[in-house]
Amino acid sequence: MRLTGLLALLVLLQGCSSNPLSPTGEAVYYALEKDTHLRLWADACQGISPDMRQTALLARQNWWQRNGTFVEGADFGLAYDVVQISDERVETGARLAMAVTWNIVASAEADIAERLQDAAKADAECRNVLNAYNNGDQDLRGNKRMYEELVGLQRRLQQEGTDLKLKRAAVAQSSGKVYGRSFYVVERMSQRQGCAGGEIHLLKNSWPNEVYEARCPDGSYLLVRCEWGNCRFTD
Total number of domains in the chain: 2
Domain coverage including residue 229:
186-234
Note whether 103 and 199 are same-domain residues.
no
Tens place of pLDDT for every residue, the chain, 235 residues?
444 445 555 554 454 444 444 788 889 889 999 999 999 999 999 999 999 999 999 999 999 999 999 999 998 888 776 655 555 565 666 677 777 888 888 899 999 999 999 989 999 999 999 999 999 999 999 999 999 999 999 998 888 877 766 666 666 666 666 677 888 889 888 998 899 888 999 999 888 899 999 999 999 999 999 988 889 998 7
pLDDT tens digits for 171-188?
666 666 667 788 888 988
Note whether 95 and 163 are same-domain residues.
yes
Within-domain flag for 194: yes
What is the spatial distance between Cα 160 and Cα 156, in angstroms, rounded to a whole number? 6
Within-domain flag for 60: yes
Within-domain flag for 181: no
Within-domain flag for 208: yes
Note whether 167 and 201 are same-domain residues.
no
Within-domain flag for 109: yes
Any idea how long the chain is?
A: 235
Note whether 76 and 99 are same-domain residues.
yes
- Identify the burial level of 84 via C-beta atoms within 10 angstroms of its C-beta, where 0-12 means exposed, 13-18 middle and 19 or more buried: middle
Note whether 172 and 202 are same-domain residues.
no
Note whether 27 and 142 are same-domain residues.
yes
The DSSP code for 198 is: P
Q: 221-227 and 230-234: which strand pairing?
A: antiparallel
pLDDT tens digits for 151-173?
999 998 888 877 766 666 666 66
